[in-house]
Amino acid sequence: MESSVCFLQTTVVILILVYHHHHQTCEATNSNNNQTNCPPSSCGKLTNIKHPFRLKNDPTTCGDPRYELSCVNNITTLTLLSGNYNVKSINYDNYTIRLVDPGIQEDDCFSIPRYFLTKSNFTSYYSNSKREDPYGFDYASWFEYITYLNCSKPVKDDPDYVDTAPCRVNWDSNSTDHVYVIARRISARKLNIDCHVKLVAMSAAPAFISRSDQHHFSYAEIHGMLSYGFEISWITRACEDFCDLKRQDCSMDRINTGPLICLSRVCTAPFGYNILCGKYKQPSSF
111 within domain boundaries: yes
HSE-up (13 A, CA, CB side) for residue 27: 6
Q: Give yes or no: residues 131 and 257 share one domain.
A: no
Which DSSP symbol is given to 285? P
Comparing CA positions, the residue from 227, 213, 155, 151 lying closest to residue 184 is 213
Q: Give yes or no: residues 198 and 256 share one domain.
A: no
Q: How many domains does the chain have?
A: 2
Contact 153, 229 (CB under 8 A): no
Predicted pLDDT of residue 165: 85
DSSP lists the bridge partners of residue 215 as: none
198 within domain boundaries: yes
Contact 116, 199 (CB under 8 A): yes
10 within domain boundaries: no
166 within domain boundaries: yes
Predicted pLDDT of residue 29: 31
Q: Give yes or no: residues 87 and 229 share one domain.
A: yes
Predicted pLDDT of residue 18: 37
SS3 label, residue 32: coil
SS3 label, residue 149: strand
73 within domain boundaries: no
Phi then psi dihedrals of residue 86, to 5 deg: -80, 135
- What is the domain extent for residue 147? 81-233
Measured CA to CA in angstroms, residue 193 lies from 71, 148, 170 at distances of 44, 15, 19
Measured CA to CA in angstroms, residue 228 lies from 145, 223, 231 at distances of 13, 9, 10
CA distance 244 to 264: 9
Q: Give yes or no: residues 203 and 88 share one domain.
A: yes
Contact 80, 135 (CB under 8 A): yes
Q: Give yes or no: residues 179 and 257 share one domain.
A: no
| Pairing status of strand 54-55 against strand 68-72 | parallel
226 within domain boundaries: yes
Q: Give yes or no: residues 163 and 264 share one domain.
A: no
Predicted pLDDT of residue 210: 65
pLDDT tens across the length of the chain (286 residues)? 444 444 444 444 433 333 343 333 222 233 345 566 899 999 999 999 999 999 999 999 999 999 999 999 999 999 998 899 999 999 998 899 999 999 999 989 999 999 998 888 776 544 555 456 788 876 556 788 999 999 999 998 898 999 998 887 877 776 788 999 998 877 777 788 899 999 999 999 987 766 655 678 899 999 999 999 999 999 889 888 888 888 888 877 765 556 788 887 666 555 555 555 554 445 444 4
Predicted pLDDT of residue 169: 83
14 within domain boundaries: no
Q: Give yes or no: residues 273 and 135 share one domain.
A: no
Q: Give yes or no: residues 216 and 275 share one domain.
A: no
Measured CA to CA in angstroms, residue 52 lies from 55, 83, 98, 235 at distances of 10, 21, 15, 10
Q: Give yes or no: residues 119 and 197 share one domain.
A: yes
64 within domain boundaries: no
Where among 196, 211, 233 does a domain terminate? 233
